[in-house]
A and B are shown apart, each in its own frame.
Chain A
Amino acid sequence: MVTARPLHILAYDFKVFKKAWRGVLFISVLSPLLYLGAMGLGLGGLLRSGNHTVDGVSYLRFIAPGLLATTTMQTAVAETSYPIMARLQWNRIYEATLNTPMGAGDVMLGEMLWLVLRLTGVGVVFVAVAAAFGGVPSWQAVLAIPVATLAGMAFGTPVFALSARLRSDNAYNAINRFIVIPLFLLGGAFFPIGQLPRVLQGIAWSTPLTHGVALCRDLFLGRAGMPSALAHLAVMLAYTAAGLAAARITFWRRVVV
């Protein structure tokens, strides 16, 4: 039965978001901007003075779509780790929520909808800023916003599932150290994947981030083509679906006891 109940979670998340906008601004806007400035303009300027291009375009235009996808990945992991841990374990807000007509499904669906909204917002702001820097040559870049959102969901859903199993936040450090940061650096945002050793290339292509980066880049540069775009989407959708399926099990096990 479909009800409007998940929207109440959305309203709650929005209220919390409004309180914490400074921190949000940093992770979603300022931090990618710093990379765009340091790498795109700084390093990019150096390359340009030697008449170098990367993948046939200026370095700024090369990394802008990559940073979009890494930013939604990082935002998604941030949103589904500590805040969810807090609601399950620290202030145990979900316990109170579930004492109302709201059910576990309403809560999970609401959180997922919020994440989609949140990532979309990040994408819109990022594309606007990148365009102001001259990093967005094609109108197709608008389509990169939902693509980056999907790339984020491919990380957010499994991390949400994991959060429902955890009793302490230790694992999040490991996730950042061994998954998020390596992917950020090696997932194709800063240089073409082809530069990596073959083994690492294989690993990179098995993750949703590399596909997100590739498709966002194709869209930014106005060169997206059908068969490859579908393949990229399929990988990200598969991760998202698997994450949702896992969350459907772990979240229920945690809150319906």
Chain B
Amino acid sequence: MTIDLSAGERPAPATPDRARTGTLIEARALSKRFGDRVAVDSVDFSVGRGEAFGFLGPNGAGKTTTMRMIGCVSPVTSGHLRVLGMDPTVDGPRIRARLGVVPQADTLDTELSVRDNLMIYARYFDIPRRAARTRIDELLDFVQLGDRGSEQVEVLSGGMKRRLTIARGLINDPEILLLDEPTTGLDPQARHLLWDRLYRLKQRGTTLVLTTHYMDEAEQLCDRIVVMDKARIVAEGSPPQLIERYSTREVLELRFGGGDEPPVDGAAFEGLAERVEVLPDRVLLYTADGERTTAAVHGRGIVPASTLVRRSTLEDVFLRLTGRMLVD
């Protein structure tokens, strides 16, 4: 694998007006409509070189459509989009030549071998056969499929197919790798292996743009996140920033025995926490200091069956911003 050392070491510019060479993707008022349906509604974001950037959001929020516009396969309805400094409307093929894409579905030819899948894809980038063969060997080792090259894709496990799809996305040594829900449907082992590979790519300076609805994935991989909901961007920041802005440091979870409803209504907790959420089986108190709040709860004579103090996570942020209602 070629290692681009210069790229990864560039410090992330602090101001939004970052150096032009440092911004690989820039979107302003970017929108996409399918007939009457607005899939992406005037979003603004920019991704810097070497960054790992995540789109977080429930199903149908517009993440995939945004990714497809960045990938220059879905025409922009309105707004401004520049990828690698070029306009997708004019320079689609030239931009795509420098992108790697890992689509949501593996989209592999399952009747062909692992190697054939990669070779065909390499030819689409006009990579000469000899160079492609070397590259394929490297990539198969990188995704730990070195001994599977001649096998038919059909027989591979879900995790292996996913790794193959990632190898395919890297065939042209892309400057930006777009990953649409890279680990959906994988078992924990396969997910951790993938995260490890993606982390290595990031270390080598590849810019990662990914969508996910796994919070742990976003926290593990992303330097910066935008949360999308109903076609719009509703929040942006690093995972710690988002937690600080939209949640509290800790969350106190109180469970009450028996019954479907908590025996105490929300008003009983007034003044104890920054925010109180009463769920069917438990009460969540968002607070800076869980222990102190626990004591205060007991002080009011409320006796829950169990208490748990935990740190706030991105999941708390996500649920706060996008709600607990099922969307699909």
- One of A15, A16, A97 near B124 (C-beta < 8 A): A97
Q: How large is the interface on A (under 10, 10 to 19, 20 to 34, 35 or more residues)?
A: 20 to 34
The size of the chain B interface, using a CB distance under 8 A, is: 29
Asked whether, in the complex, the Cβ of B110 is within 8 Å of the Cβ of A91, the reply is yes
- One of A12, A91, A98, A99 near B120 (C-beta < 8 A): A12
Assuming the A-B contacts A99-B71, A101-B94, are A8 and B111 also in contact, with contact meaning beta carbons closer than 8 angstroms in the complex?
no
Which residue of chain B is the closest to A92 with respect to CB atoms?
B107
Q: Answer whether residue A45 sits at the interface, using C-beta atoms and an 8 A cutoff.
A: no
Q: How far is the CA of A60 from the CA of B19 in the complex (A)?
A: 78
Q: Chain B's nearest CB lies how many Å from the CB of A56?
A: 48
Q: How far is the CA of A20 from the CA of B112 in the complex (A)?
A: 10
Asked whether, in the complex, the Cβ of B103 is within 8 Å of the Cβ of A95, the reply is yes
Asked whether, in the complex, the Cβ of B96 is within 8 Å of the Cβ of A100, the reply is yes
Which residues from B are CB-within-8-Å of A102? Answer: 93, 124
Q: How far is the CA of A95 from the CA of B124 in the complex (A)?
A: 13
Which residues of chain A from 67 to 119 have a CB within 8 Å of any chain B CB? 91-93, 95-103
Q: Answer whether residue A257 sits at the interface, using C-beta atoms and an 8 A cutoff.
A: yes
Q: Answer whether residue A19 sits at the interface, using C-beta atoms and an 8 A cutoff.
A: yes
Q: How far is the CA of A235 from the CA of B65 in the complex (A)?
A: 43
Which residues from B are CB-within-8-Å of A8? Answer: 120, 123-124
Which residues from A are CB-within-8-Å of B109? Answer: 16, 91, 93
Q: Chain A's nearest CB lies how many Å from the CB of B275?
A: 41
Q: Chain B's nearest CB lies how many Å from the CB of A12?
A: 5
Asked whether, in the complex, the Cβ of A91 is within 8 Å of the Cβ of B96, the reply is no
Chain B contact residues, majority secondary structure: loop
Asked whether, in the complex, the Cβ of B124 is within 8 Å of the Cβ of A101, the reply is yes
Q: Answer whether residue B231 sits at the interface, using C-beta atoms and an 8 A cutoff.
A: no
Which residues from A are CB-within-8-Å of B43? Answer: none
Assuming the A-B contacts A15-B112, A16-B111, A19-B112, are A96 and B121 also in contact, with contact meaning beta carbons closer than 8 angstroms in the complex?
yes
Asked whether, in the complex, the Cβ of B124 is within 8 Å of the Cβ of A100, the reply is yes
Interface centre among A5, A100, A102 (most CB of B within 10 A): A100
Which residues of chain B from 71 to 121 have a CB within 8 Å of any chain A CB? 71, 73-75, 92-94, 96-97, 99, 101, 103, 105, 107-112, 116, 120-121
Q: How far is the CA of A16 from the CA of B107 in the complex (A)?
A: 15
Q: How far is the CA of A11 from the CA of B128 in the complex (A)?
A: 13
Write out, one digit per residue, whether chain B residues 45-77 have a CB within 8 A of any chain A CB (1) or not (0): 000000000000000000000000001011100
- One of A12, A93, A103 near B107 (C-beta < 8 A): A93
Asked whether, in the complex, the Cβ of A99 is within 8 Å of the Cβ of B112, the reply is no
Asked whether, in the complex, the Cβ of B97 is within 8 Å of the Cβ of A101, the reply is yes
Q: Answer whether residue B126 sits at the interface, using C-beta atoms and an 8 A cutoff.
A: yes
Q: Answer whether residue A256 sits at the interface, using C-beta atoms and an 8 A cutoff.
A: yes
Asked whether, in the complex, the Cβ of A99 is within 8 Å of the Cβ of B123, the reply is no
Asked whether, in the complex, the Cβ of A257 is within 8 Å of the Cβ of B123, the reply is no
Which residue of chain B is the closest to A4 with respect to CB atoms?
B126
- One of B34, B74, B105, B125 near A101 (C-beta < 8 A): B125
Which residues from A are CB-within-8-Å of B99? Answer: 99
Q: How far is the CA of A101 from the CA of B112 in the complex (A)?
A: 22
Q: How far is the CA of A95 from the CA of B107 in the complex (A)?
A: 7
Asked whether, in the complex, the Cβ of A98 is within 8 Å of the Cβ of B73, the reply is yes
Assuming the A-B contacts A100-B124, A103-B93, are A91 and B73 also in contact, with contact meaning beta carbons closer than 8 angstroms in the complex?
no
Q: Answer whether residue B168 sits at the interface, using C-beta atoms and an 8 A cutoff.
A: yes
Q: How far is the CA of A165 from the CA of B182 in the complex (A)?
A: 29
Asked whether, in the complex, the Cβ of B121 is within 8 Å of the Cβ of A256, the reply is no
Q: Chain A's nearest CB lies how many Å from the CB of B185?
A: 16
Which residues of chain B from 169 to 192 have a CB within 8 Å of any chain A CB? 172
Asked whether, in the complex, the Cβ of B101 is within 8 Å of the Cβ of A257, the reply is no
Asked whether, in the complex, the Cβ of A96 is within 8 Å of the Cβ of B92, the reply is no
Write the residues of chain A forming the contact surface with B, with a CB cutoff of 8 angstroms.
4-5, 8, 11-12, 15-16, 19-20, 91-93, 95-103, 256-257
Ordered by A's residue number, 10 sampled pairs between the chains whose C-beta atoms are within 8 Å are: A15-B112, A93-B107, A96-B103, A100-B124, A100-B125, A101-B125, A102-B93, A102-B124, A256-B73, A256-B75
Closest 5 CB pairs of A and B: A100-B124, A99-B101, A101-B93, A96-B107, A92-B107
